[in-house]
Structure formats: structure tokens, C-alpha cells
Structure 1
């Protein structure tokens, strides 16, 4: 599909939700509904020297812009491809003597782009940026204070002699970014690295159990000429069959929260009350707060409350030890907590899932793969009961669990999980995404190892042990 093609979606009046997009034809799981280049985007301040400001890939060695000494790029072609977006920013940073925060940089990039393109980049852009919701009037007091600080910094940053803007106009742009900014991840999808504005994506309304998902495709920067680079873009992808005329939806928040907590987050950040089926009927809330059940017996309500309170307390200690990088203490706390939860909280209980997640992650980091695999297996089984079968977060969790089992020498389980994750990510990310390509390589490697294992288990484990000794020496 070409970037910007909107043949599969159209704007419509979604009633109380305002504007929305709906399918103009029948769509199937994995179909790209539309793709859209960013109107403007910036790398987070904290990662400015680690992530390319053009393609948003995480790289070890980046080249710095010789003029502003702030922007960093993979190479000359990435820098040339980004120059049109960076040139005014470059002059403003030089004049100010330092780069302002990402919010101010993004607001300035948005306004420079509006001046250049009068707010509409192409015929496929369904709405101009200044028509997006800003909700400035709904901001709480603390957010208003921050907004005033950002506006003050913006006025200092905005180059002298250019078209001037009123405080209200600048405030509106900040409000639009706050409500509509889309977090951009690196090429492996493992870390949030920046934020961008995508006008057509902003028209897709929320549902906690959506029919679409959105991912960042970093494009292809391998060509020597920047003119031949494919743009970074978001892709809206169907996660199930969508009949013609059905509204297209994505989830603005992770599903793994109680319906009341999701509603609170949506109200505070996006200023609307979620009335989707999963919130209205509190679907899966019972699983997320479930007590353990053994042979039809359940613990008392008091015991469940006590177990939940203990877990909350323990999670605070776990987080403190994680921040201090005291990973052995993290493991000890997780094991103690899970022992106390035994026969009290079910494996779908959110508090148990959080502890299982931390335990498997930290044990993998410490290379205690067999223990990590046990916890990862339990976590994944809980996730499968809660998430949509084609949820990207589920796919990534199963992928990590599969890799952990593989590293633990549990090749059959590892290969099975990697195959399952590959099936999900083919829908959510597509065959050309870096994550899917990585997963395809792992799938082929584990398939070869599984054949070897089935032919002769002893030979397989001997070869594996020898390879591990070489890699650790």
C-alpha cells in the first residue's frame, strides 16, 4: 500500500464521539487499512544522542549535526532526508544556544510545517492539524502551569522575524500534541524513543477491544540516495475481519487494567468517558481480580484482600530494588511474594501477573533461564486469557517467553511459542517489520534445533552446552 492511501477508510460523524473513521470495504486480519507519514515528529530529549532523528532507529554510533550539535543521524543520507524538517529547528537551536524540551521542539516543528503546507500535506490528509481537538479548557491546574512554562520557552525559541503567534494559538498546538501525540518506538519495538503527530490517525476513535492496531514502520533507509528512502510512517492494521461500514477503532491504553482504571486514565488524559462494551459490562474485571481456585475451593475475601495488599507493598519494594539495580534482591522479593500469593491470587490476577513479569525479566537478565522460563510460562498463560488473540503486546510477551525457553534449552516449548508469536506479529506488524524479520530468523533457527533434538537429544544438549561455554568465555 502506498503511504497516505486512504481508499479503505472514510471520515464520518460518530455521534457522541464526534468524528471517526469507518471501513469503506471489507477488511481482513493483517490488512493495512492505511499508512501515514508523520506530520511532525521528534526524538525524546533523553535519547537525543542514541536515536536517529530521521528514521528513529536506535543506533550505537550516530553522526552529529555540525551546525546545531544536537540532532544525530545514522549517516549522511538520513541527515539529508531529514534536512527539510530540521533546517529551521537547526537555526533556532543555534540562536538559543541549547535545544528546548521535546514538547517545545515538536510544537515548533508543527507550526513550521503548517506555514509550509498551510496545514494540509496532501489530498489524503482528511483534516488540518489546527482542527484537531486540543482540550486546553479541560486541563487541570498543574497541567495549565506546565503549559504556561512551555509557551514561555516556545516564545524564546521561536526564531525572531518569523510569523508571530498569539499565546492562544501556541497553547492550542500544545493541547493538540498532548491529546493526539503518538509515541514512537525504536526498530525493535522495545523502547519508546519519540513522539509524533499523525492527523488521520487522530481521527480513529478508542475502544478497549479494538478492531485495529497501530505500529510504526521505520521505512527503508538502505538506499545511498535519500531521495529513494521510504518514509517512516504509522500503519493502521486490522486485527480481525471488519465488515464494510464498521467504525475503525484502536485502544489508547493497555487493556491490562480494570475497566474503572482504564476509564480514569482515558478521562484524565483524553477527556472522554469510555462506554465501550468491555468497560460498560466490566468484561474480564473478574479475571483480573480473581482468587486462586483449587478443587473448587477458594480463599476467603479477607484473605484475597490481605494478599492483594501484601503484593502492592511488595511491588513498591521490588521497584525500589530495580531502580537501584539490586537484581538479586528483586528476585528474592518476587519469589517471596509469589509464595505468599500461592492459593490466594489466580494467575490472571493483575498483581500476580506484574510479579511474574518482573521475575521472568530479571531472571533472564541474570541468565537464570530455566527459572525465568517457568515464570514466563505462567505469565503468558494469564495473558492469553485476558488479551485479544491478535494483540501486539501479547505477541511480544509470547516472543520473549519463547526466547527464554530457547535459552533454557527447552527447545520444543521455545519453538512453539516463537511460532505462535510469529503468527500474531504477522497480523499486528506485517512481514516487513524489523521485529517480524527477527522472529522469522528465530523461527527458522529453532526449527533446525528442534529437528536435531528429535534425532538425538544427547547430541543436541552436548552441542548446546559447548556453544554456551564458547559464548561465555
Structure 2
């Protein structure tokens, strides 16, 4: 089966645009939440933080992962995953890793192992040891752009050095150094960060068919992962003939920030409908609110664009001026505190982290708009550190403060908004606010059933919590002020819902 036939069977087709190159087009109507396409990675690898806790074959979290007895470099959750990985390519990889250990060389880092695995798989498919499919062959990888000529010389030198290491590791497999260097270029601008259901990174994978989907800052689909399988779902109704788009970068930021990220890693200037608003009044206001300073006039809800060198700037709503230099000094002080807070978080000093985040927030809320992404991220961090400290009331307060900014920075049907409402619902439920919990959890289910699918483990967990909260709310409505239908205090409730600490 050809790739074109494979895509047609999924209601899709490829079109070629003069500026974008290949595009994926809907060949039929897709409804919100409908699966667009899914794909196993051609090559994938866990990141350093995940490799001790997750299975190297299925990428699922496990409390009982066992190391490969030979190379001692990969872990598996069960014998089935170990056997499957061995047959696919670990047999070849294992021998190479054992050789490295015998030569007293350390195990290659994830970025290098991703290419090593890609080279091994290509060799095994070319020799007929591994079969090929329409969505799983090296030709689909070769069709991806490299942007080789646009890559900075310093980066190419680094890729060339890593290509030499790959050649040494995969010996006796013959490789062409320039081709391997181009593989590093392809991965840099086509690989996806593999995340769990709550968007925490766990690894990296190359999905050559999914990579045909182009970027938009207002995407009509979302990419999530079931283990390491990439799954693309429709966020909205997609009409026949419409291009399928997904987001490549963090969407909570100004147009300038998004454009810079896209240009640096993917080598293009986005012309989506959101970016085209940049020079319009609506676009200028949006960017100022997301990353600018709040208007000095208390009665005004406007914002002042940041990033300008002149001493003073004006509010985009009322025209009032502000002292840019003074605001930048305050912002610099807040950023310094933020660095210290993140360092304390990494050191697991939650008490110190909370203190530093609170000082950061105190400065930021004086200089930034209430919907600023800077303030949103600090409050989000405060919510999580308060959860770690079991201060549920404070966590609830910060969660409520983040939601208007989340809905402004992302689309209202974004999975990140859905996850935030899920956190809000669980916090309300833990604190016994059953009616408020039902409202938040219902909102979360409406979003996450579309983005994650109604059968996902996350939505199943959400549904269970919603049912419990609904029962409590109904009981309370019948007996106002009466006892809880279940004798659970906050600690007991938390034991039932440990996933709250995400």
C-alpha cells in the first residue's frame, strides 16, 4: 500500500503548496474529537528523567521496570514488551551498547540514541529483517525537510561530530556521514516531544506521517500520545478540503515570541490567521496583554507593549504613558527571584520555592496585566507547590487566578484549559465544595473528552471524580448542612486522588 492510499483510507490527502511545501488536507468532514490519524514513531527514545520509571518499549509508567540483563541501559515493564523490543531492534542495539560498556564508554545521550535507533531500523528494514508499511518505512523519513542549507554552521559542526559517534556505535552497519548529519537536521525540525496525558515530557519520537501536518497558532487539531503512539484529534469541525493544522510551539505568548520560536527551530514565518492579526488593533492589544505591562491607570484594563527601548510607552487602550525603564527593572528583579524559585523546586525545597514564587508574584502583579502569561505561569507554579505542601486552600486560590489567563492565552477548547479545570474540580472536591467541583469537572470533561477521547484513562478518572462529586452535591441539596455521604477527610480524599499533584 502506498502512503497516498493509506491517507485516503483515513480521509486525508497530501497537497503541495508553493510556500508551505506538503500539506495534509481533509478529504471528508471531521467532527470535534474525531481521530484524524495515529502513528507509532519510526524512532523514539525516553528522556533521562523518564528512563528509570518508564518502559522503553511502550513508554508507560511502571513501578516495576526491569533492566535488560545484558546492556543494563534500557528497562521494560513486562516480558512481552522486552520480547517485542528485542525482535524489533534492541537485539542489534544491545550488542552495540554492551561493546560501549566493555570499552568503558558511557551510554549515548537520548539525542544520539534516537539517531542510532533510526539507523539500525533502516538497516534492518533494508535487509528484510523488519517489514515495512505505508506509514513505517525510511522513505517517509527521507521525504521530511532537512533545512540543511539554512542550519547554522556551528550547529552543523556539532551534528557532524555526533554523526561520527553514530558511525562508531553502529559499526559494522555502514553509514554515510553526510546522510547521518542530515538525519540530525531532520530530527531537529520534525521530531515531536512525547508527553503523558497531562503534557509532561517523557521522550522524543520521529513521526514522519504526522510531521506532514503543518503548524498554525490557531490549530484545528491537537497531538497527544498514548504511550509513545502519536494521536491527532480534531478540536473543531473540519470541513472537506480544509488543511489539517497542529501547533509546533507554546501558544501562550505574543506573536513575536511565537514567530521567533518557529523561525529558530523550524525556519519559517507563520502566516496563520492569528499571526496575520499582529499589525491590527486586535492583534496589538492581544500581544500587549499577554506579554506587556498593565496600564498605569487603575480604571483602564489595557496594557502597554513591552520590548521597546524608549524610556516611555503608551497603553494600547487609553493612550496613558508609563516609565518603561522602571518597569523593566522590576521585571528583572522578578526574573531573578523566579530563577531562584525554580532552583529550589528542582532541589525539592518546596517551602523555599513557595516563598520565592510568592515574592515573584507580588512584583509581577504590580507590573503585568492580570492576563499576562508571566503572571499566569508563576501562579501555576504556586498552585503546584502548594499542592506539594498539602495547602489545598491556597492551591485552589491560585488555580482560580490562572483560569482567565489560560482561557485568554490558549483557545477555550485547548486541552491545557481542560486540565486546569480538572485541577480546579479536584481541589474543590478535596475541600468539600461539591457543587463547585461538579461545575468545574463538567467543564473539564467537555473539553478533555474531545482532546483525549472519551475512552482515555484521564477522562475515565475525571468521570469517576465527577460522579462522586455529583452524588455529594445531590445529597447536600436534600439535607442542607448535613454530614458528608462519605466519611472522608481531606487526607483520605487525597489518597483516592493522588494524581492531583501533576
TM over 0.5: yes
Answer whether contact 2:430 2:493 (CA < 8 A) is retained: no
Equivalent runs, 1:191-202 vs 2, <5 Å: 191-202=200-211
Are residues 27 and 333 of structure 1, via their aligned partners in 2, closer, same or farther at CA, if it must alter by over 3 Å?
Answer: same
User: 1:255 Cα shift?
Assistant: 0.8
Is 1:436 the counterpart of 2:459? The answer is: yes
By relative contact order (CA 8 Å, sep 6+), the higher-ranking structure is 1
- Say what the alpha-carbon RMSD is for the aligned residues: 2.7
Larger mean Cα displacement after TM superposition, 255-264 or 149-158: 149-158
Is 1:37 the counterpart of 2:40? The answer is: yes
Equivalent runs, 1:291-370 vs 2, <5 Å: 291=294, 294-296=298-300, 301-302=321-322, 306-307=326-327, 309-324=329-344, 325-342=348-365, 344-370=367-393
User: 1:11 Cα shift?
Assistant: 0.8
Is 1:286 the counterpart of 2:284? The answer is: no
Tell me, in whole angstroms, the C-alpha distance in 2 between the residues paired with 1:64 and 1:297: 57
User: 1:265 Cα shift?
Assistant: 0.6
Equivalent runs, 1:186-265 vs 2, <5 Å: 186=196, 188-218=197-227, 232-265=228-261
Answer whether contact 1:318 1:330 (CA < 8 A) is retained: no
Are residues 464 and 296 of structure 1, via their aligned partners in 2, closer, same or farther at CA, if it must alter by over 3 Å?
Answer: farther
Tell me, in whole angstroms, the C-alpha distance in 2 between the residues paired with 1:86 and 1:240: 40
Is 1:165 the counterpart of 2:147? The answer is: no
Unmatched 5+ stretches in structure 2: 1-5, 303-314, 496-502
Is 1:121 the counterpart of 2:132? The answer is: yes
1:34-92 deviation line (CA, Å, top 9, x unaligned): 11121121112343221100111122220111121111011101112222132211111
Is 1:48 the counterpart of 2:51? The answer is: yes
Are residues 105 and 279 of structure 1, via their aligned partners in 2, closer, same or farther at CA, if it must alter by over 3 Å?
Answer: same
Tell me, in whole angstroms, the C-alpha distance in 1 between the residues paired with 2:301 and 2:35: 47
Answer whether contact 2:156 2:181 (CA < 8 A) is retained: no
Larger mean Cα displacement after TM superposition, 327-336 or 33-42: 327-336
User: 1:377 Cα shift?
Assistant: 0.6
Tell me, in whole angstroms, the C-alpha distance in 2 between the residues paired with 1:303 and 1:401: 37
Are residues 470 and 388 of structure 1, via their aligned partners in 2, closer, same or farther at CA, if it must alter by over 3 Å?
Answer: closer
Tell me, in whole angstroms, the C-alpha distance in 2 between the residues paired with 1:425 and 1:330: 30
User: 1:242 Cα shift?
Assistant: 0.8
User: Which residue number in structure 2 is paired with residue 90 of structure 1?
Assistant: 94
User: 1:331 Cα shift?
Assistant: 2.8
Answer whether contact 1:347 1:379 (CA < 8 A) is retained: no
Q: How many residues align?
A: 453
Tell me, in whole angstroms, the C-alpha distance in 1 between the residues paired with 2:466 and 2:372: 31
Are residues 285 and 130 of structure 1, via their aligned partners in 2, closer, same or farther at CA, if it must alter by over 3 Å?
Answer: same
Structure 1 counterpart of 2:28, from 14, 17, 25: 25
Structure 2 SS opposite 1:280? helix
Answer whether contact 2:475 2:485 (CA < 8 A) is retained: no
Structure 2-normalised TM-score?
0.83
User: Which residue number in structure 2 is paired with residue 372 of structure 1?
Assistant: 395
User: Which residue number in structure 2 is paired with residue 448 of structure 1?
Assistant: 471
